[in-house]
Amino acid sequence: MYLISFFILVFLIGGIPFGLLISRYWLKIDIRQKGSGNIGMTNVMRVGGKLPGLLTFILDFGKGALAVILAKTFLPSLEIDIETQIIFSSLTGFTVVFGHVFSVFLRFKGGKGISTLFGVLAVLHLNIGICAASIWLAMFFWKHISSLSGITMLIVLPWLFLLIPWLKNELLIWPVFFVFLLLSSLLIYKHLENIKRLINGQEGQLSASKNNNINN
């Protein structure tokens, strides 16, 4: 019962639509009616500028990090072994990102989950988080397309959970690999419209609004 309640809490935390709240109370708009209609950092930055976009990233990142911190604090009290704790922490990360993508506060619609995923990785496995962020940044500096950077990172991410432990002579925890394989597949699916635009050469580069002209 405690575990069920915990995962419900994590799902609700993931569902907090910070991008929508920032656009509504700071920019005085509904971000879902502007730009791509997404509530994530990229669309908030395009429409409202760098500061609102950065704050959206920080808060979405923070809820992913918070969820795993809560798991790491709560799970040891259940007197389960370390490997099981890592598996449950990974499931916690999956749940908070799932909550962001299918927000209960937005009738089970939400963002693409990349910022929240980075928050999860930062606490769950920092080395993998750094590698994933490096992949995202390398692709972004090359193409300046946020969605392409995210998709590339998602394709590589699950395999990092095999590669990094192998390089460090650590125990491979296969359930963790499969959790992130499923999560990456889900988030790639959420990027299907972006993928179609990429194939057609129609996906825009990320650039913050210079004049905060939120009506365009």
**What pLDDT, on the 0 to 100 scale, is given for residue 106?**
96
* 44 to 35, 97, 152, 158, 177: CA distances (angstroms): 8, 19, 22, 28, 32
**What pLDDT, on the 0 to 100 scale, is given for residue 89?**
96
Is residue 209 a part of any domain in this protein?
no
Which one-letter DSSP state was computed for residue 138? Answer: H
**What pLDDT, on the 0 to 100 scale, is given for residue 164?**
95
**What pLDDT, on the 0 to 100 scale, is given for residue 209?**
61
Is residue 80 a part of any domain in this protein?
yes
Cβ atoms within 10 Å, residue 175: 14
- Rounded to an integer, what distance in angstroms lies between the CA atom of residue 159 and that of residue 10? 25
Is residue 207 a part of any domain in this protein?
no
Is residue 37 a part of any domain in this protein?
yes
**What pLDDT, on the 0 to 100 scale, is given for residue 74?**
85
Is residue 212 a part of any domain in this protein?
no
Average pLDDT per 10 consecutive residues for the chain, totaling 216 residues: 91 98 96 92 94 97 98 82 93 98 96 97 97 97 94 98 93 95 98 94 75 42
Q: Give the DSSP letter string of 50-71.
A: HHHHHHHHHHHHHHHHHHHHHH
Cβ atoms within 10 Å, residue 127: 13
Which is nearest to 93 in space by CA: 60, 62, 59, 116?
A: 116
Is residue 116 a part of any domain in this protein?
yes
**What pLDDT, on the 0 to 100 scale, is given for residue 210?**
53
**What pLDDT, on the 0 to 100 scale, is given for residue 214?**
42
Cβ proximity of 183 and 90 under 8 Å: no
Domain count, the chain: 1
Is residue 215 a part of any domain in this protein?
no
Range of the domain at 22: 2-199
**What pLDDT, on the 0 to 100 scale, is given for residue 215?**
38
Is residue 208 a part of any domain in this protein?
no
